């Protein structure tokens, strides 16, 4: 069994410009690539699980989403993601793969033999926290992008840890503070 960290993409790893479809607009948060490399060196496997409703809404294509992900992977080297998965559906489509539902994470857990009890989910939204909880991971909410808004909007939201930035979240994982 392996340890893993699941990440939301927009607003967690990279700046959230809303319906990102242009690879040149991918900008990692300060210290994020180095933080992920440190996780990987510590033995964690890295995955991105993202809702990309812009596809289902007709704003961009799956190919454009994959092009953005390819650019993200280039910018995060030497860290390497084992796999990037996303839900392409609009919220009103009633699919079974949209976070906070755990389907995509459970598929990754089965495919890679992930020990979910010793793994983490990091994101900036309520759906990310709930996804991690549904998977049986420890959930971390970062205050970047939507994090502060979601903490105020959903006072019952209870992640296992709240971090100001992604590097702070990673530091807490590596220091076993969570």
Residue 178 pLDDT? 82
pLDDT, one tens digit per residue, over 133-163 is 999 999 999 999 999 999 999 999 999 999 9
> Order of strands, edge to edge, in the sheet holding 120-123?
83-87, 45-51, 4-7, 120-123, 138-142, 161-163
In the annotation, is 128 catalytic? no
Residue 67 is a catalytic residue: no
Closest CA to 9 of 156, 153, 145: 145
* CATH code: domain of residue 82: 3.40.50.1000
- Provide the angle, in degrees to the nearest 10, between the axes of the packed helices 32-41 and 166-174: 20
Which member of 10, 24, 82, 156 is catalytic?
10
18 Cβ contact partners less than 8 Å away, ≥ 6 residues apart: none
| Three-state secondary structure call for residue 45 | strand
Q: Per residue of the chain (178 residues), give pLDDT as tens.
A: 999 999 999 999 999 999 999 999 999 999 999 999 999 999 999 999 999 999 999 999 999 999 999 999 999 999 999 999 999 999 999 999 999 999 999 999 999 999 999 999 999 999 999 999 999 999 999 999 999 999 999 999 999 999 999 999 999 999 988 8
CA distances from 33 to 12, 75, 89, 130 (A): 12, 7, 28, 25
pLDDT recorded at residue 176 = 87
Domain that holds residue 136: 4-174
- Between CA 69 and CA 91 the distance in angstroms is 21
Compute the distance between CA of residue 9 and CA of residue 131 in angstroms, rounded to an integer: 14
**Are the C-beta atoms of 165 and 142 separated by less than 8 Å?**
yes
| Longest distance between any two alpha carbons in the chain, whole Å | 43
The one catalytic residue among 8, 24, 124, 128:
8
Q: In the prediction, which pLDDT does 177 show?
A: 82
Number of domains in the chain: 1
CA pair distance 123, 95, nearest whole angstrom: 21
Q: How many C-beta atoms lie closer than 10 Å to residue 121's C-beta?
A: 32
- The CA dihedral of 60, 57, 47, 98, to the nearest 10 degrees, is -170
Residue 49: CB partners within 8 Å, gap ≥ 6? 6, 7, 8, 85, 86, 99, 104, 105, 108, 121, 131
């Amino acid at each position: 069994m392996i340890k893993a960290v699941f990440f939301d993409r927009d607003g967690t790893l990279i700046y959230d410009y809303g319906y990102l479809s242009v690879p040149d607009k991918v900008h990692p948060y300060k210290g994020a690539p180095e933080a992920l490399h440190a996780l990987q060196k510590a033995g964690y496997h890295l995955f991105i699980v993202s809702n990309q409703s812009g596809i289902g809404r007709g704003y961009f294509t799956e190919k454009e989403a994959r092009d953005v992900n390819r650019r993200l992977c280039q910018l995060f080297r030497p860290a390497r993601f084992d796999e990037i998965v996303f839900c392409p559906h609009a919220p009103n489509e009633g699919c079974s793969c949209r976070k906070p539902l755990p389907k995509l994470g459970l598929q990754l857990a089965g495919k890679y033999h992930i020990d979910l009890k010793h793994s983490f989910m990091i994101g900036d939204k309520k759906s990310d926290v709930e996804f991690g909880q549904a998977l049986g991971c420890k959930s971390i909410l970062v205050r970047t992008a939507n994090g502060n808004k979601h903490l105020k909007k959903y006072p019952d939201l209870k992640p296992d840890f709240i971090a100001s930035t992604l590097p702070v979240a990673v530091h807490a994982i590596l220091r076993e503070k969570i």
